[in-house]
């Protein structure tokens, strides 16, 4: 049964999937009706020379310096270079850092963004941008920064290390799980979330054991693409708030906390979300299983972190984090005591 009233906001855009599709970049850029491309290509990502070759005379500038969280002074420098070059489009090649810099340029110059992502961060599917000045990160939403063209070519991701692949896949899974219980969940976001979970669950173990498997890499791109759309329409939940608190207060590597925390958050919320939980179990490959245990088993099978003690968390840290999270909006009311218990189980890696 479809809910009688809901709003689903979507964006115009063209998304191309497939091994070798990087070669279609010139044709795809021509479809956008632009002629002068500024390429933001992260030096650490593969494929820039080939993109440059395909773009030929359409390329006016290749910019290689990118940095996490888009420092304002870096954005200002690329903006100056863009004005000098007369670019009428910015194309990013790389992960969330390259996409983020391209978005900063779209904001100031009002030019379309195209993206060839080489990680699974998902920024290419969101209208969210971030800029960092000193210790302050300013984020915002603006439809102009969302790429009008995205090319997902799995050949570009075969060299992505397991330490980036696994955590970003679990980050995407966490977005999907949060979407199922979000206050603004709707039939479209839930269908996309469940399909994303299915694709990621099927692809992740192989992508980690056989990184050159293009079908597994393509499956992860498809799953994280869907997760980016889901994130755009529903936002984040308790899981991400816990991971941010752990990252901020205890200086744990934020990305590594996802595979540990997610199963416990799912176990915590399962009693309030019976229908969503059985659909989630189905997407995780076992319709009669418990989704928390299935996620825990997936993290184990994928060789990822499964307890917070491995990351350096100690029992005396738990209360302060728990108190910070009390009152968070969530399907099950969040008290400091409940989060302290959740963190204790996550720290010791007990079966959720």
Contacting positions for ligand NAD (CB under 6 A): 42, 44-46, 68-69, 94-98, 100, 118-119, 121-123, 126, 128-130, 156-157, 159-160, 164, 168
CB nearer ligand NAD, residue 140 or residue 333: 140
Shortest Å, Cβ 73 to ligand NAD? 16
Separation of alpha carbons 297 and 285, rounded Å: 12
**What is the DSSP code (8-state) at residue 119?**
S
Shortest Å, Cβ 16 to ligand NAD? 17
Shortest Å, Cβ 178 to ligand NAD? 14
Separation of alpha carbons 338 and 268, rounded Å: 9
Shortest Å, Cβ 305 to ligand NAD? 17
User: Hey, CA dihedral for 62, 107, 16, 176, is it positive or negative?
Assistant: positive
CB nearer ligand NAD, residue 210 or residue 337: 210
CB nearer ligand NAD, residue 162 or residue 326: 162
Contacts of 221 by beta carbon, 8 Å cutoff, 6+ apart: 17, 117, 120, 152, 154, 157
**Of 22, 240, 212, 232, which Cα lies nearest the Cα of 117?**
22
**Of 169, 12, 39, 180, which Cα lies nearest the Cα of 99?**
39
Contacts of 161 by beta carbon, 8 Å cutoff, 6+ apart: none
Contacts of 337 by beta carbon, 8 Å cutoff, 6+ apart: 322
Shortest Å, Cβ 129 to ligand NAD? 6
CB nearer ligand NAD, residue 122 or residue 181: 122
CB nearer ligand NAD, residue 200 or residue 281: 200
């Amino acid at each position: 049964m479809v809910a009688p009233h809901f709003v689903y906001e979507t964006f115009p855009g063209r998304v191309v999937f497939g091994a070798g599709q990087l070669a279609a970049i010139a044709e795809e850029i021509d479809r956008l009706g632009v002629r002068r491309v500024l390429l933001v290509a992260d030096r650490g990502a593969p494929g820039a020379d080939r993109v440059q070759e395909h773009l030929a005379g359409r390329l006016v500038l290749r910019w290689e310096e990118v940095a996490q969280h888009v420092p304002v002074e870096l954005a200002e420098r690329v903006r100056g270079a863009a004005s000098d070059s007369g670019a009428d489009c910015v194309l990013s090649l790389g992960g969330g850092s390259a996409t983020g810099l391209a978005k900063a340029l779209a904001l100031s110059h009002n030019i379309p963004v195209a993206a060839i992502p080489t990680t699974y961060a998902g920024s290419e599917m969101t209208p969210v941008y971030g800029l960092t000045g000193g210790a302050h990160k300013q984020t915002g939403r603006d439809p102009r920064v969302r790429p009008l063209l995205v090319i997902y070519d799995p050949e570009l991701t075969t060299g992505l290390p397991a330490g980036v692949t696994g955590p970003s896949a679990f980050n995407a899974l966490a977005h999907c799980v949060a979407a199922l219980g979000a206050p603004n969940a709707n039939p479209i976001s839930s269908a996309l979330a469940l399909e994303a979970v299915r694709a990621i669950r099927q692809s992740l173990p192989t992508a980690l054991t056989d990184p050159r498997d293009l079908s597994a890499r393509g499956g992860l791109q498809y799953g994280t693409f869907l997760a980016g759309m889901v994130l755009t329409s529903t936002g984040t939940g308790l899981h991400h708030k816990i991971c941010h608190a752990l990252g901020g207060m205890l200086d744990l590597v934020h990305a590594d906390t996802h595979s540990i925390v997610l199963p416990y958050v799912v176990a915590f919320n399962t009693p309030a979300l019976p229908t969503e939980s059985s659909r989630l179990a189905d997407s995780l490959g076992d319709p009669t299983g418990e989704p928390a245990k299935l996620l825990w088993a997936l993290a184990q099978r994928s060789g990822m972190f499964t307890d917070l003690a491995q990351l350096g968390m100690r029992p005396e840290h738990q209360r302060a984090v728990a108190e910070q999270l009390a009152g968070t909006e969530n399907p099950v009311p969040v008290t400091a005591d409940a989060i302290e218990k959740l963190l204790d189980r996550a720290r010791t890696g007990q079966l959720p």
